[in-house]
Chain A
């Protein structure tokens, strides 16, 4: 079956760095997405990886290893506003997104 695994919850300190991991198993692969979702709000797009390696976008970076079925989202210089859930989603061979349950990130001052 198709599956996405990511930690349920993580805690980090303001100003620090945190890495949120995601492993996936899909029938075929057409890319890996990360979305941010603040409590009570809609998910919003953060990043997309389809080739192996690191994609950097400001304070956020996303890494992909297709051979390992693994991705991570790296958040630097954490701010209180980064407190949110982070959703990992892999696109399968039919271009359908398989979603993880999300990682709730708690930032402490």
Chain B
């Protein structure tokens, strides 16, 4: 099993460009999440999904859009990239949120916006 796979691993964008980060999981997990991680700050939730066809806003959703057309895939889009979106992005998934349900993270996508 591959677990959670994120693509691309690295990307450099110019301000105003758009791009999509892809997250794929092969564990049949219902819940999927997109986080960003910045120096000196905790992981911040951007958007999440509780099942195929559903999405919801997290703590820092502005400037991002998501889609969950298939259960195994969760896409994160940047509509018009800004330097403030320079970050490391992590996708995570879990089967359910009750009890000690562990998040499985992807390897991360490092995005630089110039």
Task: Give chain A's interface residues, CB within 8 Å of chain B.
Answer: 4, 8, 31, 33, 35, 40-45, 48, 50, 87, 89, 91, 95-102
Binds A, one of B12-20, B38-46, B69-77, B78-86: B38-46
Does B97 interact with chain A (Cβ within 8 Å)? yes
Interface of B is mostly: loop
Given contacts A42-B108, A45-B103, A101-B41, 8 further A-B contacts (CB under 8 A): A4-B42, A43-B103, A43-B105, A87-B42, A91-B97, A96-B58, A97-B45, A99-B44
Residue in chain A with minimal CB distance to B48: A96
CB contacts (< 8 Å) of A44 on chain B: these are: 105
Q: Supply 23 A–B pairs (Cβ within 8 Å), ascending by A.
A: A31-B99, A31-B100, A33-B102, A35-B103, A40-B108, A41-B108, A42-B105, A43-B43, A44-B105, A45-B103, A50-B99, A50-B100, A87-B42, A95-B97, A96-B45, A96-B58, A97-B43, A97-B45, A97-B103, A98-B42, A100-B42, A101-B42, A102-B42
B107 touches A41 (CB 8 A): yes
**Considering residues A33, A35, A95, which has the most beta carbons from chain B within 10 angstroms of its beta carbon?**
A95
| A33 to B: closest C-beta gap in Å | 8
A87 to B102, CA, bound (A): 14
